[in-house]
Structure 1
Amino acid sequence: MDRKDGRTKYVLRGEGAGSVFVIDEKTGNIHVTKPLDREEKDEYRLIATATDRQTERALEPSSQFIIRVQDINDNPPIFDEGPYSATVPEMANIGTSIIQVTATDADDPTYGNSARLVYTLVQGQQYFSQLTKRMQQ
């Protein structure tokens, strides 16, 4: 309905409208004003309407938008306790459990590998035949 004659005005309503998201009232282009963080808010619901600038009446049905914020690996894993220290008994049988550690990650476990936790030995690997335990949150 926009004839590009300046009579159409675009209006944005909903979560974050006017603060997180702004609309160019002449073109209808929507812009984000600040970085988004999925851990802060993972979804925004917005409604954009094209109105007649003089009468303020809608020129067509409003458009609804759902903006889903994708996660990035921006949170370090947090260990529940620690620092950890363990001792391996001399002549321990193969498969002997030495220590159990637990960590959590605030990143989204359903998107990519952002929240995937992998534990590795950083020193002394030559003394172990294999490290088989890999954990995911």
Structure 2
Amino acid sequence: MYNTLAHLHSNSDKGDGSVRYILSGEGAGSIFIIDEVTGDIHATKSLDRERKTHYVLHAQALDRNTQEALEPMSEFIIKVQDINDNAPQFPDGPFVATVPEMSEVGE
């Protein structure tokens, strides 16, 4: 359903549900969510590089019973790659040019 971006895993996680993964930072809980049991980090919507080039997130593994940190906080920088989603525009065009055959570079 969502795009998986990363997977957080603690060596303390034995798969018994005793570890809780949390996410904080820019867009955490809205644009980015974490499955607190598996540590999978997902994007809930498409990202647009023209709006924001990157996001800084922090993730941590906690003991579900004591809420104590099992690992140091990890920082993730999500860099948004651009796709050519905007057609080129030439407001002063059209442009016309000719290049003679066998021309040298710079002529």
Larger Rg: 1
Q: Point out where structure 2 has 5 or more consecutive residues left out of the alignment.
A: 1-11
Q: 1:7 to 1:78 in 2, by over 3 A?
A: same
CA deviation profile, 1:36-67 (whole Å, cap 9, x unmatched): 11101110111110001122111110111001
TM-score of the superposition, structure 2-length normalised?
A: 0.73
SS at match of 1:79: coil
- CA distance in structure 1 between the partners assigned to 2:27 and 2:79 by the alignment: 13
1:21 and 2:32 equivalent? yes
> Residue type matched to 2:16 in 1?
D
RMSD: 2.3
- CA distance in structure 2 between the partners assigned to 1:80 and 1:68 by the alignment: 31
Cα deviation for residue 81 of structure 1 reads 4.1
- CA distance in structure 2 between the partners assigned to 1:58 and 1:71 by the alignment: 36
Q: 1:76 to 1:57 in 2, by over 3 A?
A: same
The residue number in structure 1 matching 2:73 is: 62
Cα deviation for residue 76 of structure 1 reads 1.9
Q: Point out where structure 1 has 5 or more consecutive residues left out of the alignment.
A: 85-100, 102-119, 122-127, 133-137
> Residue type matched to 2:35 in 1?
D
More strand by percentage: 2
CA deviation profile, 1:80-123 (whole Å, cap 9, x unmatched): 446x5xxxxxxxxxxxxxxxx6xxxxxxxxxxxxxxxxxx77xx
Cα deviation for residue 129 of structure 1 reads 5.6
The residue number in structure 1 matching 2:19 is: 8
Choose from 61, 73, 76 the match for 2:84: 73
Greater RCO structure (CA 8 Å; 6+ sep): 2
Aligned residues: 91
